[in-house]
Chain A
Amino acid sequence: MARDPKYDILFEPIQIGPKTLKNRFYQVPHCIGAGSEKPGMQAYHRGMKAEGGWGACCTEYCSIHPESDDTSRVSARIWDEGDVRNLAAMTDRLHQFGALAGIELWYGGPHAPCMESRATPRGPSQVASDFELNIFPRYMDQDDINTVQQMYVDAAIRAREAGFDIVYVYGAHAYLPFQFLSPFYNRRTDKYGGGFENRARFWRESLEKVREAVGDDCAIASRFAVDHLLGPISIQVGEDGARFVEYCDDLVDLWDLTVGDIAEWGQNAGPSRFFEENHEKPFTGQIKAGDHTNKPVVGVGRITNPDTMVAIIKSGQFDIIGAARPSISDPFLPKKIEEGRFDDIRECIGCNQCISRWEIGGPPMVCTQNATAGEEYRRGWHPEIFHPAGNREKSVLVVGAGPAGMECAMVLGKRQMAAVHLVEADKEIGGCVNWISQLGHSDGKENLFRGSARGLGEWKRIANYRQIQLDKLKNVEVHLGSRLSTDEVLTYGAEIVVVATGCHFATDGLNAATHAPIPGADTSLDWQLTPDQVVSEAKRVGKRVLVLENEAYFMGVSVAQKLAGEGHEVTFVTQAGDIAGYMHYTLEAPMLHRDLERLGVDIHTYTMLEKIEPGVCHAYDVWNPAHTEQFEVDTVVLCSARISDDELYRELKDNKDRWEREGIESVYVIGDASAPRMIVDSIFDGHRLAREIDSPHPEMPLPFIRERRLWGDASNDDYLQQLKNTADVALA
């Protein structure tokens, strides 16, 4: 199909210094857990986006020296020739697909704890990091300043050698150049501190030196947080923010604008729960609007809608559409817009699972919507290419159309299995996504800081995308409103059966802390609920509610938000030190805390329930069980644990003697039905089984490439030898 002229503007080239960006789709620097030490993952993940049409792809933050070491978080590094060699794998691959390669030169200062290098980071003033634990920088005198600026220059020269087209001096997220610029960090009284020009001096000098070193060959970019969101004590767009852009405009070929810092970078990588598409516009949009620059500007805001992209450029908000998460969710977004294949676009849902793995420090990237993110190299998975299955003459019955079932059926369909039937008991496709996406609202009011609790509505895209894809697949039939008995599954006529029947919440308070039910817990009673019952409004919820959370993710707090928003008096109890530990990793925690505080939710951490009685919950302090407390409540909501709905699977296995007669060759179980997990992992589970359905033992994942040092001389071939028999591996 031809490109709709409405989107032509997104495909117009634009000049960035000495380089030409072939279109307006720009993957801004973002983490993936690859760095320079997993060059295969780095090259193939970025390369996939270039193949999908992105005009430029950047590394994640790239350390210029061992003094800027973020271990255990994974950054890229350009310390030596080995790093040059490894990052060249990425630039080569990008150039192969016609994209520009960008490198974000980073010096973290006190925000980089140097746990691997054991070096001492330097900073403008000796103030400990507000992000890390107990890390102070060494005060930089003029010699130190010269030394660090030389680090930028040396790194830039190595970057050019590695083939990079765009070289950043990275000063967003409150890293070193920004620490000089902002009085929040900079308490100096010399020529590098005090007034605006003094505070801007370090950054300006760094840009000058880098430009002098490589500016003829490379485009010089700077990532700048135009507003720190801390008010007058730091940088504000209307004051020093815009002024800085003007002040350094002559030294920069491309401005990459953001907001906020690293301590609360959920204000920049805003989760959909709290931030709508293009949410940085009020800040980053002011730069072009106020005529503060003559250079091209790229900005972000979880922009996923092609029409929004057109509007942003036409209105002059930015020149180039920046994206991290939307490029992870769909590396082929630009191609799909070009080809008019809008229902094939896999939109980011803003869950920040990708970010969470980097935050945890070490694991490779994941993506709820795109199970191939992070697997491009180590498993050879391509999001748009599915090799026909070696056993595609078989037909498959997938029972359960939740995230795992939908994904599995979709990939099996794309792998050209003869027939795939996806059968769902509910009248709607989507499984748990349907009720979970109704959570996340509180009372609809503006938060103290920015935005409000918008809800998890964008998570519904998980179902929307798959429903459309399943509909398009001629070899896939979806049957809703049909609950199959074990006998019906056995006689269905499929050679392969995949059980994806999900899970349910424990009805008796079983939890990971005590490994036992809670006396008195019984959600069959009308005053005790599981979270799905709260959403379905199956039971009346009384005025005073106690919510028990033992799973450390979003369920308990979301229920608390909803009920408090509706006017209930909510008491929140968890045995953990945190109300929702995992949500720190998804960057949702700060806004969540603000919302719960504002709503007056009574929070009790390090607290567990000993016993539940009508009207009262007996609780104790986890550190001192003798210290007890009584909560008088009308309703109790138990988010204590989930349990697989695996009866069908067990019964099928019990009836193994019937399989041969009925023509069943294998039975698999995936997703929550196998073991309750996060949605991102359920989708992965379904995807993997489908990708490997023709391997000798599909229930056991095939080996993947581990990029590690092999003793003695090692070549790339050595690494590839590790892979055994996977038809999908195509590392061309």
Chain B
Amino acid sequence: MSGILVVAETRRGELRDVSLELVSTAREVKEPAGGRLTIAVIGADAERFAGDLAADGVDEVLTVSAPTEQFEAHVWQRALEALIESEQPALVLLGHTIDSMGFAPAVAARAGLGFASDVTAISWAGGPRARRGAYGDKLQAGLEFPGKACTLLTVRPGIFPVAEAASGPAPARAVSVDLDGAARTEHVEYRDAAAGDVDITKAEFLLSIGRGIEDKDNIPRFEELAEKLGATLSVSRPLVDAGWMPSARQVGQSGKTVKPRVYLALGISGAVQHLAGMRTAETIIAVNTDPEAPIFGVAHYGAVADLFEVADELEQALG
């Protein structure tokens, strides 16, 4: 088995960024791994993405036609199993995304592959090596995959850069897989996030609040503070879980990814899923009473302080 197979991800007709991030990931080990770098896209309309997938370093684009337009975990599982069977890659890369969580581990399990999820770095030494978090990202673990001819890794989105387009098109090949009857769930519909008043991904300045605000009754005060600051209010997941704020305001892996000029986080500890949504903001300022809060690891400025006291002072300073 040789070469690297990257599995692209699309949703509702759009190619997701992680697909081309994976190409950058693959290129880090392409040489030592030897063999070709192919990128596969699965879907009812797979061919139309072939052009977009011709990134620098990609040797071939594979398209697999699926009977359903939208993602279905079991269909994708069978498609990937067939691709691994036919292409015999040494390394398979997917994004660590909601979709891939639905099928990638099953593929690895059934085929007895090497496996690790949410990896943040890879290298090669006679075989793939990967790095991922441990104890909730407090530590980092180095992984090996002894005795595995093929290893499947899901890669944390937003870590690797999006690969640039190649100068010309890449050869594309359709791979035929019998996927009829593979689906085992029935798609009913998509529902967009409650049409929020606001698109936080467009805001230049976000004031973000988390569990630290303790009480939903405190939210109006932070809405006002956001206004005074000239910021848009966003939240971390727990506030949406509790029903205090609509999910349109949520920053994080299952919320929105934001890249404002300033991200001011009050009372957010920085769970991995949240950091995924904001770590690329230009200036991150974090206020938290816990000096070990993970958010200080990505913030540019931090203060170990009580967010209410700081909010008090901000309110006074701004008049």
Contacts and interface: CB of A to CB of B under 8 A. Distances in A.
- Chains A and B directly touch (beta carbon < 8 Å): yes
Interface stretch (B1-9, B88-96, B112-120, B308-316): B308-316
Given A307-B305, A434-B215, 13 more contacts: A427-B215, A427-B216, A428-B214, A428-B215, A444-B316, A454-B312, A455-B312, A457-B308, A457-B309, A457-B312, A460-B308, A464-B306, A536-B217
Given A428-B214, A444-B316, A307 B304 contact: yes
Interface in A253-310: 307
Nearest to A535: B217
A348 to B, nearest CB: 14
A276 B67 CA distance: 67
17 contacts: A307-B304, A307-B305, A343-B289, A427-B215, A427-B216, A428-B214, A428-B215, A434-B215, A444-B316, A454-B312, A455-B312, A457-B308, A457-B309, A457-B312, A460-B308, A464-B306, A536-B217
Interface in A429-459: 434, 444, 454-455, 457
Interface in A390-432: 427-428
A454 B217 CA distance: 19
Interface string A303-321: 0000100000000000000
Contacts of A428: 214-215
Interface of A: 307, 343, 427-428, 434, 444, 454-455, 457, 460, 464, 536
Contacts of B215: 427-428, 434
A307 B312 CA distance: 18
A585 B276 CA distance: 53
Contacts of B306: 464
Contacts of A307: 304-305
Contacts of B316: 444
Contacts of A434: 215
A277 to B, nearest CB: 9
Nearest to B306: A464
Contacts of B312: 454-455, 457
Q: What 6 pairs between A and B have smallest CB-CB spacing?
A: A428-B215, A457-B308, A457-B312, A428-B214, A434-B215, A460-B308
B275 to A, nearest CB: 23
A351 B216 CA distance: 26
Nearest to B311: A457
Nearest to A468: B289
A455 B217 CA distance: 17
B318 to A, nearest CB: 11
Contacts of B304: 307
A537 to B, nearest CB: 9
Nearest to B221: A438
Nearest to A454: B312
A343 B312 CA distance: 21
Contacts of B305: 307
A258 B216 CA distance: 41
Contacts of A427: 215-216
B314 to A, nearest CB: 13
A608 to B, nearest CB: 34
B64 to A, nearest CB: 48
Interface string B208-245: 00000011110000000000000000000000000000
B190 to A, nearest CB: 32
Contacts of A343: 289
A46 B89 CA distance: 75
Interface string B44-67: 000000000000000000000000
Contacts of B289: 343
Nearest to B214: A428
B238 to A, nearest CB: 13
A310 B312 CA distance: 22
A178 B308 CA distance: 40
Nearest to A4: B291
B220 to A, nearest CB: 9
Nearest to B315: A444
Contacts of B217: 536
A507 B152 CA distance: 68
A455 B313 CA distance: 12
A343 B309 CA distance: 16
Contacts of B214: 428
Contacts of A460: 308
A454 B313 CA distance: 10
A307 B289 CA distance: 12
A457 B316 CA distance: 14
A485 to B, nearest CB: 25
Contacts of A457: 308-309, 312
B270 to A, nearest CB: 18
A427 B238 CA distance: 14
Interface string B275-313: 000000000000001000000000000001110110010
A600 to B, nearest CB: 22
A444 B289 CA distance: 26
A605 B274 CA distance: 56
A457 B289 CA distance: 16
Interface string B72-96: 0000000000000000000000000
A66 to B, nearest CB: 47
A566 to B, nearest CB: 14
A32 B288 CA distance: 36
Contacts of B216: 427
Nearest to A464: B306
A464 B307 CA distance: 12
A536 B214 CA distance: 16
A464 B215 CA distance: 12
B242 to A, nearest CB: 8
A640 B221 CA distance: 30
A714 to B, nearest CB: 50
A395 to B, nearest CB: 28
Contacts of A455: 312
A349 to B, nearest CB: 12
B42 to A, nearest CB: 44
A343 B289 CA distance: 9
A455 B306 CA distance: 16
B125 to A, nearest CB: 38
A464 B290 CA distance: 13
A453 to B, nearest CB: 12
A427 B217 CA distance: 11
B21 to A, nearest CB: 39
Nearest to B218: A438
A307 B190 CA distance: 51
Nearest to A458: B309
A454 B215 CA distance: 20
A727 to B, nearest CB: 35
A434 B215 CA distance: 9
A460 B218 CA distance: 13
Contacts of B308: 457, 460
A444 B217 CA distance: 20
A330 B216 CA distance: 31
Interface in B176-230: 214-217
A279 B267 CA distance: 26
A444 B316 CA distance: 8
A442 B83 CA distance: 69
Nearest to A428: B215
A607 to B, nearest CB: 34
A307 B304 CA distance: 9
A428 B211 CA distance: 12
A343 B304 CA distance: 12
B193 to A, nearest CB: 24
Contacts of A444: 316
A536 B304 CA distance: 30
A536 B309 CA distance: 21
A464 B316 CA distance: 23
A427 B215 CA distance: 8
B53 to A, nearest CB: 48
A49 B216 CA distance: 39
A307 B310 CA distance: 14
Interface string B136-160: 0000000000000000000000000
A684 B167 CA distance: 77
Nearest to B242: A427
